[in-house]
Structure 1
Amino acid sequence: MPTATNRSLGMQRNKLLRYKLIKELYYKHKTEDIPTTVVWRKYICPVYPISRTTLYEILCTSVTVELREIEEAIKNQAKL
């Protein structure tokens, strides 16, 4: 069933792209004297309504590495 695999790869890719946008927004506003919770509440939550726990999960995710793996898998699926 290549379609289900393509669909799940696409969903994973979209999630990682969203994570990338959230991380960019976080690092844009995060400074040494501003706590993570303040950045989450003032800047991230109004745009991306996620929990603080989800934010911490996103910050721990290596988005670029996982995106590269997903892109490789999508290319391999296209070759089949």
Structure 2
Amino acid sequence: MSKPLQRNTLLKYKLIRDIYLQHKTEDIPDAVVLRKYIFPVYPISRTTFNAVLNCPIDKLLAKLNSHSDQ
């Protein structure tokens, strides 16, 4: 069983995803976006990058926020 993502990790993932969405176009591959725009700010591996793109960030943050309200 994997450890649930913590709030700060999810917030960092959200920043990475925002950079990705800002620079991603149909003719620019993900690897180029990672190398030119994300890696200089957040030096992450391709595996971590794929994890960020496949993570339901907003849903998990909402779940964490609902637990902290209780």
TM norm structure 1: 0.79
Q: Deviations over 1:23-56 (max 9, x none)?
A: 0000100000000000000000000010011001
Runs of 4+ in 1 over 3 A off after TM superposition: none
Matched residues in 2 for 1:21 and 1:34: separation? 19
Is the partner of 1:31 in helix, strand or coil?
coil
Residue 51 of structure 1, aligned match among 31, 35, 45:
45
| Structure 2, unaligned runs of 5 or more | none
Matched residues in 1 for 2:54 and 2:25: separation? 18
Higher relative contact order, structure no. (Cα contacts within 8 Å, ≥ 6 residues apart): 1
Aligned residues: CA RMSD: 1.5
Mapping of residues 1-80 of structure 1, within 5 Å: 12-76=6-70
Q: How many residues align?
A: 67
When you count helix as a share of all residues, which structure comes out higher? 1
Q: Deviations over 1:2-30 (max 9, x none)?
A: xxxxxxx9x71111111100000001000
| Structure 1, unaligned runs of 5 or more | 1-8
Report deviation, 1:73: 1.3
Identical pairs, percent: 51
